[in-house]
Amino acid sequence: MPGPYVIRVSSTKGGVGKSVIATNLAVAVNMYGYDTLLIDKDMANPSVGVYMGLEDVSIGLSEVMKGKATFQSATIPHPASGVRVLPQRIDTDVLQFSPAEVRVFGDKIKKSDYKFIIVDTEPGIQYETTIKWYDEAFVITTPYEAACISAIKLMSKYGKAGVKTTIIVNRVENKSHELSIKEIEEMCEQKVSGILKEDDKVKVGVSEHIPVYLLDRKSPFSRGIDEIAKMLISRSGSFGKVPRTGGDGFLSGIKKKL
Amino acid sequence: MDKKSYAILASSQKGGVGKTIVAINVTAALRTAGYEVLVIDTDVANPSIGPLLGMRETGMGYAEVIKGKVEVEKTQSVFEPTGFYFIPAGGDGEAINPTPDQLNKFYAKVLKMDFDFIIVDTPPGTKIDGATKNFDEALIITTPEETSVFGAQKLAQIYERSHLPHKLVINRVKDDKFELDEERIEKIYGDIAYALLPEDRVVVESEAKHIPAYLLNRQSQFALSIDELCRAYNLKAGEPDQGVKKRGFGIRRFFGGK
B83, B212 in Cβ contact below 8 A? no
Residue B243 clears pLDDT 60, i.e. is over it: no
Average pLDDT, chain B: 88
Residue B235 clears pLDDT 70, i.e. is over it: no
Q: Does B146 sit within 8 Å of A153, measured CB to CB? A: no
Residue A107 clears pLDDT 50, i.e. is over it: yes
Helix (H, G, I), strand (E, B) or coil at A244: coil
B140, B168 in Cβ contact below 8 A? yes
Q: Does B46 sit within 8 Å of A150, measured CB to CB? A: yes
Question: B84-87 and B37-41 as β-strands: parallel, antiparallel, unpaired?
Answer: parallel
pLDDT (average), residues B180-184: 95
Residue A249 clears pLDDT 80, i.e. is over it: no
Q: How far is the C-alpha of B55 from the C-alpha of B53, rounded, in Å?
A: 5
Residues from chain A that touch B13, judged by Cβ atoms under 8 A, are 44-45
Q: Categorize the per-residue pLDDT at A140 as very low, low, confident or very high, splitting at 50, 70 and 90.
A: very high
Residue A17 clears pLDDT 50, i.e. is over it: yes
Q: How far is the C-alpha of B107 from the C-alpha of B134, rounded, in Å?
A: 6
Name the phi and psi angles at B241, rounded to 5: -55, 125
Of A13, A45, A145, the CB nearest to B147: A45
Residues from chain A that touch B145, judged by Cβ atoms under 8 A, are 203, 206
Residue B58 clears pLDDT 70, i.e. is over it: no
Helix (H, G, I), strand (E, B) or coil at A14: coil
pLDDT for position A55: 67
Residue A126 clears pLDDT 90, i.e. is over it: no
**Within B136-181, where are the H helices?**
146-161
Q: How far is the C-alpha of A162 from the C-alpha of B70, rounded, in Å?
A: 37
A144-168 pLDDT per residue, tens: 988 998 899 999 999 999 999 999 9
pLDDT for position A244: 54
A188, A167 in Cβ contact below 8 A? yes
Q: Does B124 sit within 8 Å of A91, measured CB to CB? A: no
Question: A116-120 and A5-10 as β-strands: parallel, antiparallel, unpaired?
Answer: parallel
Q: How far is the C-alpha of A6 from the C-alpha of A137, rounded, in Å?
A: 9
> Closest residue of A to B49, CA-based?
A146
A85, A49 in Cβ contact below 8 A? yes
A90 and chain B in contact, CB less than 8 A: yes
B94 and chain A in contact, CB less than 8 A: yes
Lowest mean pLDDT among A160-174, A227-241, B219-233: A227-241
pLDDT for position A245: 47
Q: How far is the C-alpha of B23 from the C-alpha of B122, rounded, in Å?
A: 10
From the CB of residue B34, how many other CB atoms can be counted at a distance below 10 Å?
A: 9
pLDDT for position A248: 41
pLDDT (average), residues B171-192: 96
Helix (H, G, I), strand (E, B) or coil at A136: strand
CA B73 to chain centroid: 21
pLDDT (average), residues B140-166: 96
Question: A36-40 and A116-120 as β-strands: parallel, antiparallel, unpaired?
Answer: parallel
B178 and chain A in contact, CB less than 8 A: yes
Higher pLDDT, A236 or A71: A71
Residue A46 clears pLDDT 60, i.e. is over it: yes
Higher pLDDT, A238 or A117: A117
Name the phi and psi angles at A160, rounded to 5: -65, -30
Residue B77 clears pLDDT 50, i.e. is over it: yes
pLDDT for position B32: 95
Question: B6-11 and B77-79 as β-strands: parallel, antiparallel, unpaired?
Answer: unpaired
For the whole model, what pTM was predicted? 0.89
> Closest residue of B to A14, CA-based?
B15
Q: Categorize the per-residue pLDDT at B84 as very low, low, confident or very high, splitting at 50, 70 and 90.
A: very high
Nearest chain B CA: its distance from A204 CA (Å): 6
Residues from chain B that touch A153, judged by Cβ atoms under 8 A, are 93-94
Average pLDDT, chain A: 91
CB-based contacts of B62: which residues, under 8 Å, 6+ apart?
B40, B41, B42, B44, B75, B87, B88, B89, B90, B91, B106
A220-236 and A18-31 helices cross at what angle (nearest 10)? Answer: 60
- For residue A116, give the H/E element and its range: strand A116-120
pLDDT for position A6: 96
Q: Categorize the per-residue pLDDT at B7 as very low, low, confident or very high, splitting at 50, 70 and 90.
A: very high
**Within chain A, where are the H helices?**
18-31, 48-51, 61-65, 71-74, 99-110, 145-160, 181-188, 201-208, 212-215, 220-236, 250-257
A183-224 pLDDT per residue, tens: 999 999 999 999 999 999 999 999 999 999 999 999 999 999
pLDDT for position A50: 95
Residues from chain B that touch A150, judged by Cβ atoms under 8 A, are 45-46, 93
Q: Does B150 sit within 8 Å of A16, measured CB to CB? A: no
Helix (H, G, I), strand (E, B) or coil at B119: strand
Of A12, A145, A206, the CB nearest to B45: A12
From the CB of residue B219, how many other CB atoms can be counted at a distance below 10 Å?
A: 7
From the CB of residue A220, how many other CB atoms can be counted at a distance below 10 Å?
A: 18
| A36 to A32, A83, A115: CA distances (angstroms) | 10, 6, 6
